[in-house]
Amino acid sequence: MHIPDNYLSPGTCAVMFAVAAPVIAVSAKKVKVQLKEHKELAPMLGIAASLSFLMMMFNVPVPGGTSAHAVGGTLLAILIGPYAASIAVTVALILQAFLFGDGGILALGANIFNMAIIMPFTGYWIYNFLRKHHHPSIGTVVGSYCGINLAALMAGLELGIQPLIAHTASGAPLYNPYPLAVTIPAMAFAHLAVAGWIEAFFTYVVYSFVKRVAPNEIYQNTMVKDTKKGSIKYLIYVIIGLVVLSPIGLLTTGTAFGEWDNAELLQRLKVEHISSTVPTGMSHGFNYTALFGDYTIPGTSLPIGYILSAITAILIFFLISKVLMSIYGSTNKAANK
């Protein structure tokens, strides 16, 4: 679901940034208020971003030779609220794009809208509705399943409209060459049949674990409560477990639909007798080389590089949370004097 650069036209990228920016701004403002009242939210933001980042490393095969992955947007919303979850997933997506080359830089607006806005807010609304009707466990499953599928539908729409809005005078697509009739079924099938269930499984398992060992960590649609260090350690155990297991994501060799590089896309276009060339806008588009592209660390084997990439991301999230703790810890002390 990480749309790379050059699959969307510059106009589409600009529109998606314009749509996503106000929501992220409002989310950041609300999280800032929460942090001023409860600095303990800071480590939870770091943990949440780590959970989402790690969940997205577990690629699973999809029939047809592609792959998909969970995101954790609804899970984070259940743990820290939809606004904080939106910020946490956004931070994870930014790090993935700039440091690991997973998702485009120009396409960040679209990826943030799909995974950091649509998913946590939709998933949490469904979960909260069922929770109020005394079915929180069902809410986690239904909310997470619907959240990721709606996000996938949006990605399919964004990709599929490209041949309609960006093409040459002769009608040849300039960016993503696949129309809506291809992109929506492809994204829908991958997530309805596979990724949605993986997302629901992850969400339910972690939710059930947290509910059992640290029930106060579950967001109650009120101001975030104080977080005890003893309860945070259980989530840290989950993160450590995911880091150790992260190389499992390497077992899936197929590339997710709409995330191919130009060489792989060209091969597909030739095999499918669609075109003998990559669309012009893609072949002459924006190119960014990430430091640890494809989660590889120079001088290490792929599994070790994968684990080191996960650890690197977690350390960055930890440092960000420490900075927030320092800033808002000082603010709280000054306010209490």
Mean pLDDT throughout 30-48?
A: 89
Of 97, 87, 105, 103, nearest to 17 by C-alpha is 105
Residue 219 domain-assigned (yes or no): yes
In tens, the pLDDT along 105-119 reads 999 999 999 999 999
Band of pLDDT at residue 230, cut at 50, 70 and 90: low
Of 53, 219, 196, 189, nearest to 127 by C-alpha is 219
Residue 41 domain-assigned (yes or no): yes
Joined together, the tokens standing for residue 213 give 């060992």
Residue 293 domain-assigned (yes or no): yes
Query: What percent of the chain is modeled with pLDDT above 90?
Result: 74
Asked if the model's pLDDT at residue 49 lies above 60, the reply is: yes
Domain with 35, as residue range(s), is 10-332
Residue 90 domain-assigned (yes or no): yes
In tens, the pLDDT along 255-274 reads 899 999 999 999 999 999 99
Joined together, the tokens standing for residue 131 give 């929770």
Asked if the model's pLDDT at residue 120 lies above 80, the reply is: yes
In tens, the pLDDT along 124-146 reads 999 999 999 999 999 999 999 99
Residue 337 domain-assigned (yes or no): no
The rounded distance, in Å, linking the Cα atoms of 224 and 229 is: 15
pLDDT at 229: 55
Band of pLDDT at residue 224, cut at 50, 70 and 90: very low
pLDDT at 162: 97
Exposed e or buried b per residue across 207-229, where buried means at least 16 C-beta atoms within 10 angstroms of its C-beta: beebeeebeebebeeeebeebee
Instruction: Work out how many domains the chain is built from and give that number.
Output: 1
CATH code: domain of residue 209: 1.10.1760.20
Residue 3 domain-assigned (yes or no): no
Q: Which residue has the tokens 């409002």?
A: 26
Distances, alpha carbon 36 to alpha carbons 41, 205, 237, 328, 330, in Å: 9, 31, 27, 6, 10
pLDDT at 327: 83
Mean pLDDT throughout 50-77?
A: 90
In tens, the pLDDT along 315-333 reads 999 999 989 888 876 555 5
Residue 35 domain-assigned (yes or no): yes
Residue 5 domain-assigned (yes or no): no
